[in-house]
Chains A and B, each alone.
Chain A
Amino acid sequence: MEIYSAFSNTDREGLLRELSVTLENKGFVKDTYQASILQREKMHPTGLKVENLINIAIPHTDVEHVLKPTMVVIKHSSGSFKFFRMDDPQVQIPVEVVFLLVVKESDGYVNFLAALTNLFQDAEFIELLESQTPEAICRGLVDKLKQFDLTYQGELIG
């Protein structure tokens, strides 16, 4: 699976719009994706407070809007994004790293999401998340999740 990095200085909605347009132009998602992911994030937000870790978000939407799976790792270029919490949708939290999960097929993807979240207990990976660029995080993922044959494709936006 191809993965990308990005820096952005926009807000949550601006980020999701920008990523949607770029992913559509690259043939990863359908033209229905943008509306769907914005609506999904509004209805079921994906900000996660992870114990002893920076906050992350894992926006994703229904598989029917996706043509080809990918993932984009995004950091804010001058601060953090604001996402509402997955477990407490009224509460907004600052999010340092966004993993946009472009899911095509739910079964195989669960393996990937399980492996990704298992890395939240890996000190070396946490160090990457906290202090390194999205590119370094992507390269770390390629190295640590060899079983998924990830290939880093460069910056998507930013």
Chain B
Amino acid sequence: MADKYLIYVACGSAAASAALARRRLIDELDKRKIKAVVEVHRILELPGQVANRKPDVVVVTAGQAPAALPEDVLIVQGIPLMTGFGIDGLVDDMLKTLEERES
């Protein structure tokens, strides 16, 4: 099956927090049998990456997403993926929004 979504996870340094968020997000998507490519990027590099290949979702673990992102990219605040609290709600809401956008 082809990957359903392209998701970028971004933090300040792409070293620790976004990488952890990526791993937990992949686990949750696997549990729900959702295929996705999940990539880690630095927040500063997001506008360039998004212009190059537009994702369905940007999950931000540090601060705010850059204002310059296209309106049809879903922006998700990813702190629950860091702390471990509220992950189910975050992933369910994200997938629900994506499905609504598709229909």
B94 to chain A, nearest CB (A): 16
Q: Is B23 within 8 A of A86, CB to CB?
A: no
Q: How many residues of B contact A (CB 8 A)?
A: 23
Q: Is B84 within 8 A of A121, CB to CB?
A: yes
**Listed A/B pairs (24) with beta-carbon separation below 8 Å:** A43-B12, A44-B13, A44-B43, A48-B79, A48-B83, A50-B85, A51-B85, A52-B85, A61-B15, A63-B15, A86-B17, A86-B79, A89-B62, A89-B63, A109-B16, A109-B19, A110-B20, A110-B23, A113-B19, A114-B23, A114-B24, A117-B20, A117-B83, A120-B84
B36 to chain A, nearest CB (A): 18
B:1-55 near A, CB below 8 Å = 11-17, 19-20, 23-24, 43
Set A44, A50, A52, A118: member contacting B12, Cβ < 8 A: A44
Measured CB to CB, the residues of A under 8 A from B are 40, 43-46, 48, 50-52, 58, 60-63, 86-89, 101, 103, 106-107, 109-110, 113-114, 117-118, 120-121
